[in-house]
Structure 1
Amino acid sequence: MGKKWTWTLRIGVKDLAAMELEEHLDESSAAALPRRESLRLQRRQAIITVATRSFLDHGYAATSMSSIAAAVGGSKGTLWSHFSSKDDLFSAVLEDRTEAFRRNLSAPLDPDNNLHDAIRSFCCQFIAKLISPEAIALHRLVISECARFPQTGTIFYERAQLKTLRLMASFLTLHMEKGGIRQCDAMMAARTLMSLCSGGSQQEILRGASYAVERIETDADFIADVFMRAFTP
């Protein structure tokens, strides 16, 4: 808490220029296609890395496509060929930052796992993510900007929160079919669980209080027990 989340990227104009030149070389070998695609993906990731730092350091309003192009190096055309707007780029940043997290959440949500253990494991991982410096910074960014730029709140919900909600709802639906969870609105049940996770951890940090990581397992135990009592037959 108190540390600013930063990223370091060292990529020069010559590096990107070389990438652009290599991409447009007339190579007859079919083996060159995977390399060109690899360079394209590297360039796209470089843009996302710079954009992430810019959004978190300067906010959504103060971040411009021109400033990102200048920070990355290369032409504005290269940036626009990957992202058609600042909203599109903001969406990509959120997708990039949450994709690995959702992959990690998929492991405990194996339908063959013990239901209580799976819920508890999900809570542990979800709380740990919620209190990470990056997640707090992104949350504060959206809160500070969504009044002037409502699309930031929409993008954040669709790219981050909604996808995690659907992941948990799918898991709960499978257990409803097995009889482990009582029949109810799976999305509402998933939202209830996630709200329990964020209410005592992320919300404390957002209002300036501290949250010790040692509390994660204790809180996860309590939340899993409450959820099971509320939603199991």
Structure 2
Amino acid sequence: MSSRTAKTAADATPKPAGPGRPKDPGKRAAILDAAKRMFVAHGFDGVSMDQIASEAGVSKLTVYSHFGDKESLFAEAVRAHCEAGMPTSLFEADPAMPLRERLTSIGNAFFAMIMTPEAIAGHRILCSPQVATSAMPAAFWEAGPQRVQQAFTELLERRIAAGDLEIDDTERAAAQFFTLLKGEAHAKAVFGYCCGRRQETPEEHVAAVVELFLRAYARR
């Protein structure tokens, strides 16, 4: 092969985007959407980067350029799901909003987010033996629950400063709030079990959690 021919072939070969090159946000969004659909439908091990690329309508090289590997793509899919379900605006300071109303809006958003088919499927993926022993649970925690709990912890600290709450350990209180919100309903959804005692509506469930939380921590 002549040097000119070799150069032409090399030029035709796709190259990964370098650190300084801007990446196409539209392609990134398409990849995330495709990954979420395929992880839900087939599980983590049942999906390849080739399949995600095909579903997103991009090259495999583009997928790797944006996300590096499948584990990172899964973590970003979790982050995107959490940011869509619980945007930063939910936790922004608004002293005029009554505390019960603020907690209820956060509780409703969180419960709706964790009960989606995507979230339930993601939870099952993380509980699988292959994934549970990998680095993915830590990546999931940092991308999703840790972000939400940190934002809520900061909100609690602002409300303590405003005189609305009395809490010695805000991180523990934040974990308690979201654990109560998950409750029995989330466990049943993960197990695929829909029978048993009368099911509360999501609104009833969230209202009961908020009431319990305020009984424990509202300033007397």
TM-score bin, normalised by smaller chain: 0.7 to 0.9
- State the identity as a percent: 27
Alpha carbons of structure 1 residues 132 and 71: separation in structure 2 relative to 1, 3 Å: closer
Determine if contact 1:60/1:145 at 8 Å carries over to the other structure.
no
Corresponding position of 2:118: 134
Structure 1 pair 76–207 and aligned structure 2 pair: CA distance change class (3 A): closer
How do 1:70-149 and structure 2 match up within 5 A?
Answer: 70-103=54-87, 106=90, 110-144=94-128, 147-149=131-133
Q: Quick check: 2:107–2:206 contact (8 Å CA) kept in 1?
A: yes
| Native 8 Å contact 2:40 2:121 kept in 1 | yes
Counterpart selection for 1:229 from 211, 215, 220: 215
Question: Does the alignment pair 1:170 with 2:134?
Answer: no
In structure 1, which of residues 40, 46, 52 is the aligned counterpart of residue 30 of structure 2?
A: 46
Over residues 202-221 of structure 1, what are the superposed CA-to-partner deviations in whole Å (9 max), with x where a residue is unaligned?
Answer: 11222333388861121122
Residue 41 of structure 2, aligned match among 21, 45, 57: 57
1:43-73 Cα shifts (integer Å, max 9, x gaps): 1112222222222222222322233234444
Structure 1 gap ranges (5+): 1-19, 21-35
**Cα root mean square deviation, aligned:** 2.8
Amino acid in the other structure paired with 1:164: V
Choose which of 141, 144, 153 in structure 2 pairs with 1:157.
141
Count, aligned residues = 199
Q: Which residue identity does 1:97 align to in structure 2?
A: H
Which runs of 5 or more residues in structure 2 are unaligned? 1-13, 15-20
Equivalent-residue separation in structure 2 for 1:108 and 1:186 (angstroms): 17
TM-score by length of 1: 0.74
Tell me: CA distance 1:132–1:104, structure 2 relative to 1, closer, same or farther (3 Å): farther
| Alpha-carbon distance, 1:190 to partner | 0.7
Cα 1:187–1:54 shift into 2, 3 Å: same
TM-score (norm 2): 0.78
